[in-house]
Amino acid sequence: MEIPVINIAKILSLRSENESNIGYSDSVKVGEKLVKSFSTHGFALVENHGIPKENIDEIRSLSYKFFACDLDYKMKFLSKSGTTLCYDPVGSQFATPGRPFDYHECFRVPSCAYDCDWPNIKELKTKCQQFEKVCNKLLLRLLTSIGQGMGLKDSQLFLRYHKKIGHSTNTTRLKFVHYPPIPDDVVIQEYQLRVGEHTDIGSLTILFPDGVGGLQIKRRDGSFMDVPYIPGTAIVNVGDMLQYCSGKRLKSTVHRVVIPEETTNRAISKLTVGYFGCMDNEAELRKVEFNDAELDSETTKSMDFIKAGDFFNKRFNGFVNYE
C-alpha cells in the first residue's frame, strides 16, 4: 500500500495568526486521514503545508554553507549537550547498534539554542529562527488535528505536551542532515547505510527532502519500500514518544536512508532539512482516554508511567558516539 498524500490546507494558515479560520470539523477530517496513515504506515506525505518552497530552499542553501566549512571549524560545534548547537561529523553516528557508522554529517539546532555562539555565516541564525517558528506552528496544528481525529477525550493533550518548545526543558530541534558525495576509492562496509535502520525518538518528525531519494520505511513483512519524493510535499512520521502515549495506535516505523548502488549517484550530495518535535521533558507519558467507550476499554492498561525527558535520554544515549 502506498503512503497517502494528505492535503492539510484546511487546518493551516501559516501566514496568518488568525486561528478562527480553522474549523473544528475540517480539523477532525484531516486528523482522521492522518491517524489512518500513521496507524498503518507511521508516515504520511502532506501537501499544502504552508511553508513556501523559497523558504525551504533558502535554509537548505545556508546549511550547505556550514557543511562547506573546514572540518576543524565545524568541530568547534561538537557538543554532547541537547541545549546548544551541535555538529556531528561523519563517523560519529550509529543508528543501528552493531552496524558500521552512518555515512552522513549533521548539524542540530535545538529550539532553545539562539542565545549561544553561532557559525559565522551571514543570516544563518536569523533564518533558522524564522524557519523554526513556522515549523513549530505546523507541528502544533498537526498534533491538534491528530488528537481530534483520534477522538481523544482531551483533544488538546498532545498539544499541551509541547508547551515548552523554545526552552531548555524541551528537546525539539531543527536538524540538517548532509550526505556528502562518496569518493570512488572509499570502500563501503557491509551493511553500511547513510542512516541505519532506526525509529525517531520524539513525537512527530517533519522532513523536507531534496529529491535525491534514498529514504525507505519497513513494511510489516520486514521488507523495505521507498518513500516517494513528490515536489511540494513534506514527509511526516510518528516518533516513539507519540507511539507510546497513543497506546501504540500510531506507529513509529523503522526507516533508513540507503547508499545508492550506482557509483554516479553516490557522487551526488544530498541534504535533508528536518524538524524533530519532542514532548516537554516533564510531560507525563501515560495512556490516553477516548470519547468512544469501546476504544477506551481497548487502551493499554499496563503502560508504565515515564517522563518524556527520561524517555528521550534512554533512547538518545545509544545513538551517538563521540569517542
Structural domains in the chain, sorted by start: 5-316 (2.60.120.330)
pLDDT at 46 > cutoff 70:
yes
What CA–CA distance (Å, rounded) separates 157 from 171? Answer: 18
Residues 78-137: tens digit of each pLDDT: 987 778 999 999 999 999 989 999 999 999 999 999 999 999 999 999 999 999 999 999
Beta strands 306-307 and 224-226, pairing class: unpaired
Ramachandran category for residue 246: left, alpha or beta (phi over 0 → left; psi -120 to 50 → alpha): alpha
Mean pLDDT of 171-197: 94
**Helical axes 24-40 vs 124-150, angle rounded to 10°:** 90
Residues 235-281: tens digit of each pLDDT: 999 999 999 888 889 999 999 999 998 888 899 999 999 999 999 99
Phi then psi for residue 61, to 5 deg, are -65, -40
Contacts of 266 (CB under 8 A, 6+ apart): 181, 182, 259, 260
Mean pLDDT of 287-300: 64
Q: Which helix (H) or strand (E) holds 284?
A: strand 284-285
The predicted structure's pLDDT at residue 25: 87
What CA–CA distance (Å, rounded) separates 219 from 242? Answer: 19
The predicted structure's pLDDT at residue 301: 53
Question: Could you tell me the three cell numbers for 131?
Answer: 524557519
Mean pLDDT of 186-209: 95
Q: What percent of the chain has pLDDT over 90?
A: 71
Separation in Å, CA 136 to CA 69, 129, 131, 275: 28, 10, 9, 8
Place of cell 526507516: 255
Least confident of 50-64, 104-118, 305-319: 305-319
